């Protein structure tokens, strides 16, 4: 990467971080491009050099966060040698992510509400569904690996469990935003124990 492109990449990330912070504090609808520029310490014109609109900024933040989450999960799973170990590691990491991203839940709801009935609604729906499908498939494949190795019960519907597991993470994030006293780490540890007890064959 050239020095110029590295500077551009750094500025791009600076703007994403600034926008995520302002969206979390003000909400999507109330945020202005000038607010994001002020948070980043740049002129408003600089923001428009990188992003054509506030909507584009929101989608770019989602893509940026999801790339980071997937990279973290991939590194984590590579360090585990059993399907149960990978599943437990994934659930534990999900708790950390829920805690880290808790403040972004209101802005996501705000953006969803603002997009209703607009040209951007379809794009938001598709982007969200793509992420859900990605993680459902990842978890289903993980469970399938455990079934093929004789570690997990073969009669379990892997994709069904994966679908509910993704829903669990989503719901936990909402609860932690509404009630910060919830201990996501403890809750997911208890859930992980129960899930693996049900999935694992006695001899495994």
pLDDT of residue 184: 92
Query: Same domain for 153 and 188?
Result: yes
Query: Same domain for 112 and 71?
Result: yes
| 82: in domain | yes
Query: Same domain for 12 and 96?
Result: no
Query: Same domain for 74 and 174?
Result: yes
Query: Same domain for 120 and 77?
Result: yes
Query: Same domain for 92 and 149?
Result: yes
The residue to which tokens 């399938």 are assigned: 144
**H helical segments located in the chain:** 3-26, 33-40, 44-50, 54-78, 83-101, 105-115, 121-148, 158-178, 184-199
Residue 32 sits in a domain whose CATH number is 1.10.10.60
Residue ranges making up the domain that contains 4: 1-51
Q: Tens digit of pLDDT per residue, the chain (204 long)? A: 565 588 888 899 999 999 999 998 998 999 999 999 999 999 999 999 999 999 999 999 999 999 999 999 999 999 999 999 999 999 999 999 988 888 888 888 888 898 898 889 999 999 999 999 999 999 999 999 999 999 999 999 999 999 999 999 989 989 999 999 999 999 999 999 999 999 998 865
Query: Same domain for 74 and 26?
Result: no
Query: Same domain for 106 and 37?
Result: no
pLDDT of residue 6: 83
pLDDT of residue 54: 93
Closest CA to 188 of 176, 177, 178: 176
Nearest-5° Cα angle at 47, 42 to 72: 100
pTM of the predicted model over 0.85 = yes
Query: CA separation (Å) from 139 to 81, 83, 190, 197?
Result: 16, 10, 18, 17
Burial (CB count within 10 angstroms: exposed 0-12, middle 13-18, buried 19+), residue 16: buried
List 152's β-bridge partners, or say none. Answer: 200
Q: Cα–Cα distance between 17 and 184 in angstroms, integer?
A: 24
Closest CA to 195 of 67, 92, 45, 108: 92
Query: Same domain for 195 and 113?
Result: yes
| 204: in domain | no
Q: Which two tokens stand for residue 75?
A: 């590194």
Query: Same domain for 147 and 89?
Result: yes
Buried b (16+ CB within 10 A) or exposed e, 98-134: bbebbebbbbbebbeebbeeeebeeebeeeeeebeee
Domain boundary among 13, 30, 51: 51
pLDDT of residue 72: 93
Query: Same domain for 105 and 18?
Result: no
- CB proximity list for 150: less than 8 A, separation 6 or greater: 201, 204
Residue 195 sits in a domain whose CATH number is 1.10.357.10
């Amino acid at each position: 990467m050239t020095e110029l492109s590295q500077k551009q990449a750094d500025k791009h990330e600076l703007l994403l971080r600034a926008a995520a912070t302002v969206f979390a504090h003000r909400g999507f609808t109330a945020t202005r491009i000038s607010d994001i520029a002020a948070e980043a310490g740049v002129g408003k014109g600089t923001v428009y050099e990188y992003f054509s609109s506030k909507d584009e900024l929101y989608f770019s933040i989602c893509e940026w966060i999801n790339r980071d989450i997937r990279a973290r999960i991939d590194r984590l799973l590579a360090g585990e040698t059993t399907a149960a170990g990978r599943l437990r590691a994934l659930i534990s990491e999900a708790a950390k992510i829920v805690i880290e991203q808790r403040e972004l839940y209101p802005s996501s709801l705000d953006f969803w509400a603002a997009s209703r009935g607009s040209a951007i609604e379809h794009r938001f729906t598709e982007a969200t569904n793509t992420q859900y499908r990605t993680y459902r498939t990842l978890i289903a494949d993980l469970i399938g690996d455990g079934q093929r190795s004789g570690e997990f019960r073969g009669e379990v519907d892997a994709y069904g469990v994966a679908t509910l597991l993704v829903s669990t993470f989503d719901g936990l994030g909402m609860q932690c935003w509404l009630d910060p006293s919830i201990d996501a780490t403890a809750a997911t540890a208890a859930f992980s124990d129960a899930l693996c007890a049900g999935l694992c064959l006695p001899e495994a």
